Amino acid sequence: MNAFDSQAARALPASRPACARAAFLVSPAGESLAAESASDNVYMDLSRVFSSDRARAQHQGLQRALSTELPVISFAGDPAAPDGMFPNNVFGTRAGTLIIGQMRHRVRQLEAERSDIRGFFTDVLGYATVDLRGGEVGELTGSLVIDRARGIGYAGLGERCTSAAAQAMAQAFDLRMLQQAALAPGEYHTNVVMAVLAGRVAVLCADGWADPKVADAIAAVYAPQVLWLEPEQKAAFAANCISLRDDSVWMSATAADVLSPTQRTQLQTGGLRIRSVELDEIEKAGGSLRCCVGEIF
C-alpha cells in the first residue's frame, strides 16, 4: 500500500457535490455474455443460461426506478459489445468534462468508440474531453471508487488498473488525494469490494484487498459510518451500490437480500434509505447496479 494518511483524508472538507446531477445507462444488447471479459472476472459464469430479454426488462425497470430520484437517460446497446451495459468503466465525468478510460479487453475497447455517447457529452452538454486511451489500463469508476464530496480516490490495482493509470485517473477526475493498493487475487474491480455513499458512509469487505489493512485505513476516514461486509455478501454484490442523492442507497435485490437487520439499521442510521431492483439476470455478466450507472456531474 502506498502512503495514505487517513487523518488527512478525513480532514478534507466535503465541499464538492457528493452525488451526480443525472445518470446515463446503456441497454443490454448481446444475446450472450462476453467470453473475453470472463477470463478475469470470477463473478461471471458462462455455464449459466443468459436471457437477453429478461436482462433488458430488468434494465428498463432500473431506469424507471432511478428516474424517481434524478434524470436518467439510456443509450441503445451494441450487440458487438455485450458488456456495454456497464458504461461506468468506459465513461466518467467531472463537472464539465467527459473522461474516457482505457479498457483491458478489446470487446470493451469498442465501447469507447461510440460517437453517440461521446457526442452527447461534447456536442449537447458542451463538455471537454480527457481521453485516457493510449495510456495504461485503468477502468475508471470500476477500478477507482471516488469519494466525490472530499475528492478522494481509492484505486484497486490489478489486471484492470495499473498504478500509472490510477494516477492518470486521479488527475482526470481532479482528485485531492489518491490511495492505491493491490486487490486480492481474483478481484477485478474496486467497486465490487467497496463503496463510498454520499460522501459519508463506507461499505467495505476487508478480504477484497491483498492486504486487509487497506480496508482499515479507508474505514478510519469514515468511522463510525462503516458497513463491513462478509465475503459471501461481497459475492452477492452488496458493495456494488451507489447513492444518487444524499438520503438513499441503490443496490440490487440480490445485494439487499443478504444484508442483516443490523446492517440495514446501520445504513438507515447513516441517513440512507435502501432502494433496490431485481437485476439477477444482469448480474450473470459479472456486475451489478453500480456498474450499470454512468454518473453525470
pLDDT tens digits, one per residue of 232-276? 999 999 999 999 999 999 999 999 999 999 999 999 999 999 999
Helical H segments across 102-162, by residue range = 106-109, 115-119, 140-143
| Cβ atoms of residues 237 and 205 within 8 Å | no
Average pLDDT over residues 115-144: 98
Q: Which 3 state secondary structure label does DSSP give 158?
A: strand
Parent domain of 16: 6-296
State pLDDT tens for residues 15-35.
999 999 999 999 999 888 888
Residue 1 in domain: no
Does residue 165 have a pLDDT over 50? yes
Cell 444524499 sits at which residue?
246
What is the model's pLDDT at position 1?
43
Q: What CATH number should be reported for the domain holding residue 259? A: 3.75.10.10
Average pLDDT over residues 185-208: 97
CB under 8 Å to 116, separation ≥6 — which residues?
A: 75
Average pLDDT over residues 156-165: 97
Overall domain count for the chain: 1
**Average pLDDT value over all residues in the chain:** 96
